[in-house]
Amino acid sequence: MAKRSGLVLRAAELARASEGRMISGRSDIRVDGFSIDSRRVKRGDLFVAIRGARLDGHNFVSEAIQRGAAGVVVGDSTLAGLRIEALDQPFVIAVKNTTRALQLMAREIRRRSGARVVAITGSIGKTTTKELIANVLASAYRVCRSEGNLNNHIGVPLSLLELRHEPEVAVIELGMNHVGEISTLVSLAEPEMRVWTNVAEVHSAFFRSIEAIADAKAEILEGATEKSQLVANAGDPRVMARTKDFPGSVITFGVEMRADVTATQVKSLGLDGMEAMLQTPVGLTSVRTQMLGHGHVANIVAAVAVALQFNVPLEVVVARVAEYVTQPRRGQVIRLGEITVIDDTYNSSPTALETALEAVGRTRGCVRRVAVLGEMLELGAQSVALHEACGRAAVAAGFDAVVAVGGAPALALAEGARVAGLPEAVVMTFATSGEAAEYVTNSVRVGDVVLVKGSRGIGMDEIVDRLKVGRLEH
C-alpha cells in the first residue's frame, strides 16, 4: 500500500471552492496544508482566519504570514481593517464567512480525493467505534481517520482536508449538540457508508426529549441514495425506527440478539477485558478484547460489520480487535503498583457511566472498588435525578466507596449512593477535582480498583494524574 503523492492544490481553485475572490497574490501558488491556528502554521500552508467565541483568527493573520503561510483566507467584513500588502505571495482570498469557506474547501477535497468515506455518529462510543473501524480497515487499505474529537463544524472539515493525501478510506466522526449540526456535517462528508451506534441522554440540556436527540442524530441519513450503506444498531429501537426508509442497504449489528453481525456468550475477563462469540454472514468465531465492559462489545460488532463490507477476512478482523489498545482517558487500565486505576476521564453521560460502573463492578480479587465520579454536564432539568440514579447504580454494581465531584448534581449522586445503602463514612463529596485529588491520593489502599470518570469540564483527569504522581512518590 504505497503512499500516493497527494492532490495538488492551488490558490485559484481554492478560491473557487470557497466561493471567495482573490484580492492579492498569484493564482498558481501551491498550498501544502491548512491551518486555523497561527501558532501551527508551516511554510506552504493556507491559514484560514476563523472567528470563534473567544478568539478571532483575523488578529493573527500577520503571524501566520511571518511563519511562511502560502496564503490566507479572510472575511470580507474585516478586510478593510487588515494591513496586507499586495504581494505575489502570500495570496489573499476574501470570503463572506471563513468557517463556511473552510467547510466548502473540505468538501471539494473530499470529492476530488476518491476516498470512500465512512461517517459515524451516536450518543456514546462513537470515538471508540471510529478507532476500531480505522484500525481494522488499515490492515487492507490506506486509511485516514478524524483525529481525537474533531467531530464538529470545524473539526470535520479539518479532518476532510487531510483527504488531500488521497487515502483509500476515510473514517470520520460526526458529533452534535444542536439540531442541524449533523445535517451540515454529512453534507460535507458525503459518506458512502454511515454508522449509527445508539441514542442516549447526552446533551439533553439542548433537547426537549430523547426522541428529539434521536431525530437530530438521524440527520446522518440525509442525502443517502440507493448506493449508500448503513450500519445500524439493531438493539436500539430509536435507531431502527428512523432507518426504515433508508434508500440504500442496511447492515445491522447487535449483542445477544438477531442481527447481521451479533455477539453472543459475552463474558467478562475482569480487568483483562471481554470475550464473546461472533456470528457473521461469513462464519462463526470467537473474539477477545482488552477493553472493559459490555458496552464495548457493541462497538466491536459495529466495526466487524463495517470491515466485512470492505471484504476484510474475518480472521484478520478479530486479530486486529484483539490487538486494539484503549486510548488514553477512555477506559484505560493503569496499574500503579498494587493499585489499579481505570482512567475514563475523557467525558461522561448517564448511560456511559452506568456501563463503566457495571464493567468495573465485575472486578474480582480486589480489596475495594472505589468510584470517583465527576458531575455530568449538559443534562438540563433532569440532571439531579439522573445523577441520583447513577449513585444508586454505583452501589448496585458493587462499589464499596463513592467520591462525587462538582455542584448540586454531584451531591445528588452521593445521596443516591447513601440511599442505596453505602455508609456515610465511605461517601465523600468535593466541589473541585483538586480537592478530590488530594483526598483520593491519600485514601487509596493497596488492592483498590479505582474508577475515575466525569465530564471534561470537571477536570477529573487531574485526579488520575495526581494518583500517578502519588504512587510514584510511594
* 249, 344: one domain: no
Q: How far apart are CA 47 and CA 14, in angstroms?
A: 12
Which pLDDT value is given to residue 83? 61
In this predicted model, what pLDDT tens digit does every residue of 238-249 receive, in sequence order? 999 999 999 999
Q: Which three cell numbers stand for residue 67?
A: 511563519
**Is the domain of 279 the same as that of 356?**
no
**Residues pairing with 293 in the sheet:** none
Q: Per residue in 311-363, pLDDT tens?
A: 999 999 999 999 999 888 999 999 998 999 999 999 999 999 999 999 998 78
| Contacts by 279-286, CB closer than 8 A, 24 or more apart | 280/304, 280/308, 280/314, 281/308, 282/308, 282/314, 283/314, 285/314, 285/315, 285/318, 286/318
What is the count of structural domains for the chain? Answer: 3
The pLDDT, as a whole number, for residue 203 is 76
| Cell (9 digits) for 211 | 426522541
4: in domain? no
For residue 392, count other CB atoms closer than 10 A to its CB. 18
What residues are paired with 284 via a beta bridge? 279
173 grid coordinates:
466522526
Are residue 69 and residue 44 in the same domain, yes or no? yes
Q: Kindly report the CATH number assigned to the domain that includes residue 432.
A: 3.90.190.20
> Grid coordinates 470492505 are at which residue?
310
Q: Provide the pLDDT for residue 80.
A: 55
Domain-located, residue 107? no
Rounded distance between C-alpha atoms, residue 464 and residue 441, angstroms: 9
pTM of the model: 0.91
Instruction: Please calculate the CA angle 134-137-112 and round it to the nearest 5 degrees.
Output: 80
Contacts by 258-263, CB closer than 8 A, 24 or more apart: 258/234, 259/234, 259/235, 259/301, 260/234, 260/305, 261/301, 261/304, 261/305, 261/308, 262/234, 262/301, 263/287, 263/297, 263/298, 263/300, 263/301
- Report the alpha-carbon distance of residue 276 to residue 286 in Å, rounded: 6
- Determine contact, residues 333/340, Cβ cutoff 8 Å: yes
Both 441 and 388 in one domain: the answer is: yes
- Indicate the DSSP class of residue 320: H
pLDDT at residue number 4: 52
Q: How far apart are CA 457 and CA 402, in angstroms?
A: 20
Q: What is the pLDDT of residue 3?
A: 47
Task: Tell me the per-residue pLDDT of 121-178, one tens digit each, with 9 for 90 and over.
Answer: 999 999 999 999 999 999 999 999 998 778 999 999 999 999 999 999 999 999 998 9
**Is 372 a member of any domain?**
yes
Strand partners, 285: 278
* CATH code assigned at 136: 3.40.1190.10
| Amino acid 236: pLDDT | 98
* Residues 356, 372: Cα–Cα separation, whole Å: 12
What is the reported pLDDT for 118?
98
* Residue at a domain's end among 276, 298, 323: 323
- Whether residues 33 and 87 share a domain: the answer is yes
Pair 279, 402 in one domain: no
Q: What is the mean pLDDT of each run of 10 residues along the chain (474 residues)?
A: 72 98 93 97 97 92 95 83 60 96 98 97 94 98 91 96 97 95 98 97 85 97 98 98 97 98 94 95 97 92 98 98 93 93 94 92 86 95 96 97 98 98 98 97 95 95 93 52
The residue among 62, 96, 130 that closes a domain is 96
**pLDDT at 201 (0 to 100):** 83
Q: Residue 316 corresponds to which cell in the numbers above?
A: 484478520
Partners of residue 128 on adjacent β-strands:
none
Containing domain of residue 373, as a range?
332-473
State whether 90 and 201 are in the same domain: no
How far, in Å, are 273, 322, 450 from residue 331 at the CA level?
11, 16, 11
Q: How far is CA 399 from CA 31, 51, 154, 369, 440, in A?
A: 55, 46, 40, 5, 15
Domain end (from 323, 358, 377)? 323
Q: Is residue 3 part of a domain?
A: no
